[in-house]
Amino acid sequence: MRRCRRRAFPWRPHAIDPEVNDSSEPSTLVEFHLEAGTGGSRLTVTESGFDALPEDCRADAFARNEGGWTLQMESIQRHVEG
């Protein structure tokens, strides 16, 4: 039996100041897909929408987020394999 669960949320890569309302700023979309299979589970994390970010910060946002998600996935793997 295969089941897939999905959770998603918007992410504002350059939201630094919690006092600033950045709700009108462009965001990316982070999606978590958890799929159960007969041999185990698979977690996939996808972040899209970088093309909507201002060009002058797009590459930096991508590099930071890609590096951050890599660390998070490695941490999850260590936890699961424990």
Residue-wise pLDDT tens digits, 32-49:
999 987 888 889 999 999
Q: Could you report how far apart the first and last alpha carbons of the chain are, in Å? A: 26
Structure tokens belonging to residue 79: 């936890």
- What pTM does this model have? 0.78
Task: Say how many domains are in the chain.
Answer: 1
Task: Print the domain residue range for 72.
Answer: 3-81
Q: How confident is the model at residue 20 (pLDDT cuts 50, 70, 90)?
A: low
Give me the pLDDT at residue 9, please. Answer: 92
Sheet holding 28-37, edge to edge: 3-11, 28-37, 40-48
Asked if the model's pLDDT at residue 2 lies above 90, the reply is no
Structure tokens belonging to residue 77: 């793997």
